[in-house]
């Protein structure tokens, strides 16, 4: 049975940021004291979060072959949008992304509770406040 590798959310974000800057799997394994297969596993499981971090940093995600896109080139499919939570501009990774990474890391967003956009008031599923 495979052992589940757990990193704290902060350490996971650090690992993803290091990979976004172009660190190799071997260097990440040494830096975070985990195996290369564990690094690959974490990057695969948290691919969506990795693309969000790359968009926030304004860098293109490394390709599988290791070739990088031109420096400063936006990742394909990203665009600048205004966050529905804080009203700040951010690099969106796709058509369904309307909240910036900072707002997605809030406890309210992670708990899955239905909140009215930009008001913080709870909205029931039936539409009554």
pTM: 0.49
CB 72 within 8 A of CB 82: no
Number of Cα atoms under 13 Å in the Cβ half of residue 75 = 22
Measured between alpha carbons, how far is residue 100 from residues 38, 52, 88 in Å? 28, 9, 8
Partners of 82 in beta bridges: 89
Mean pLDDT of the chain: 76
CB 47 within 8 A of CB 20: no
Cα 94 from Cα 60, distance rounded (Å): 14
Q: What is the mean pLDDT of residues 44-70?
A: 76
Tokens (6 digits) for 113: 């509770």
Closest CA to 57 of 23, 101, 94: 101
Residue 14's pLDDT is 92
pLDDT above 80: residue 24: yes
User: Any idea where the domains of the chain sit in the sequence?
Assistant: 9-57, 76-129
């Amino acid at each position: 049975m495979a052992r589940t590798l757990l990193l704290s959310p902060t350490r996971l974000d650090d690992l993803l940021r290091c990979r976004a800057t172009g660190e190799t799997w071997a260097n990440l394994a040494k830096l975070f004291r985990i195996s290369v297969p564990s690094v690959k596993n974490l990057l695969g499981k948290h691919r969506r979060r990795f693309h969000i971090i790359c968009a926030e940093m304004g860098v293109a995600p490394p390709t599988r072959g290791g070739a990088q896109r031109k420096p400063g080139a936006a990742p394909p499919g990203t665009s600048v949008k205004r966050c529905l939570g804080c009203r700040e501009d951010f690099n969106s990774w796709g058509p369904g992304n309307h909240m910036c990474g900072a707002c997605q890391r809030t406890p309210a967003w992670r708990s899955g509770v239905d909140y009215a956009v930009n008001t913080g008031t709870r909205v029931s599923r039936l539409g009554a406040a």
